[in-house]
């Protein structure tokens, strides 16, 4: 009985996800069909329509590649990894995007801090959170990556100067497809939480309405 219950619970999560995917893909498809019909009818503003169509296709591309990431059987390759090196890689990767928005990414980390983790998965977590920070800031500013360790935990804080997060939506962050962005997928925090679970780590979100947000990742020092 217990097994059956677990199985049916899984089905409903899969069902939920499928419904979400269908919805996310159907909207751009409907809009693509509409624009193709307009073009077929021989409208004038072709260039404009082409641009919107490309945007819709790009949205579907992003969603499908993020879904592929989720569906990949993640094989953990856990080792002791330097936090500084992972943060450095991610900052190098996202620097161009930040610069374009006049955002400075600042990080101070001691070379010693290490965690037992899968390097590419933790980098994916950092990419998701730093990207969100960049996307949250509209007129420049600073993103700070601050690490800190205690006897029991190593933490990484991603602190931005964006608008913060309204209290009434904070609990929705990490629900599949929850986004407040025009071209968001609403999968970033969900993926982040999944990866952190695999590392017995967790995510804390601190946000004031107005004073920016802090996403804090806590890795336990003792790993199994
Ligand atoms: P997406 O970035 O595609 O919208 P995410 O799962 O990464 O999906 O984020 C979900 C939502 O959480 C965002 O749409 C946004 O409303 C909110 N959010 C996440 N990070 C931040 C941040 N640093 N500042 C403000 N809002 C944020
Ligand atoms: Mg995101």
What is the Å distance from ligand 2's center to 59 Cα?
13
Query: E strand or H helix at 69, and its extent?
Result: helix 46-71
Which pTM was predicted? 0.80
Q: For ligand 1, pick from 132, 192, 208, 213 the residue to mutate: most ligand atoms within 8 Å of CB.
A: 132
167 CA distance to ligand 1 middle (Å) = 13
> How far is it, in rounded angstroms, from Cα 115 to Cα 123?
12
The ligand placed nearest to the CA atom of residue 62 is: 1
* 173 Cβ inside 6 Å of ligand 1: yes
Label residue 140 left, alpha or beta by phi (over 0 means left) and psi (-120 to 50 means alpha). left
C-alpha of residue 173 to centroid of ligand 1, in Å:
7
Per-residue pLDDT for 172 more than 70? yes
Q: What ipTM was assigned to the predicted interfaces of this complex?
A: 0.99
- Residue 8 pLDDT more than 60? no
What's the pLDDT tens digit per position in 75-128? Answer: 788 999 999 999 999 999 999 999 999 999 999 877 788 999 999 999 999 999
Tell whether the torsion through CA atoms of 58, 133, 129 and 184 is positive or negative.
negative
Q: Are 190 and 175 in contact (CB under 8 A)?
A: yes
Q: Which atom of ligand 1 is nearest to the CA of 128?
A: 7
């Amino acid at each position: 009985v217990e097994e059956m219950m677990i199985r049916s619970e899984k089905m409903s999560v899969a069902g939920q996800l499928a419904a979400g995917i269908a919805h996310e893909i159907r909207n751009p498809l409907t809009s693509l069909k509409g624009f193709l019909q307009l073009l077929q009818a021989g409208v004038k503003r072709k260039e404009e329509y082409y641009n919107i169509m490309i945007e819709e296709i790009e949205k579907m591309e992003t969603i499908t590649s993020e879904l592929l990431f989720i569906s990949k059987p993640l094989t953990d390759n856990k080792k002791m990894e330097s936090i500084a090196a992972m943060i450095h890689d991610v900052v190098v990767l996202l620097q161009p995007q930040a610069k374009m928005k006049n955002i400075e990414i600042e990080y101070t980390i001691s070379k010693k801090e290490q965690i037992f983790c899968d390097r590419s998965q933790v980098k994916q977590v950092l990419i998701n959170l730093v990207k969100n920070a960049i996307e949250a800031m509209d007129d420049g500013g600073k993103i700070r990556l601050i690490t800190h360790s205690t006897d029991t935990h190593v933490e990484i804080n991603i602190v931005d100067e964006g608008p913060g997060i309204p209290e009434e939506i904070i609990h929705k962050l990490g629900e599949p497809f929850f986004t407040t962005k025009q071209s968001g997928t609403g999968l970033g925090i969900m993926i982040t939480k999944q990866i952190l679970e695999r590392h017995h780590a967790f995510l804390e979100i601190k946000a004031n309405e107005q004073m920016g947000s802090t996403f804090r990742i806590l890795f336990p020092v003792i790993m199994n």
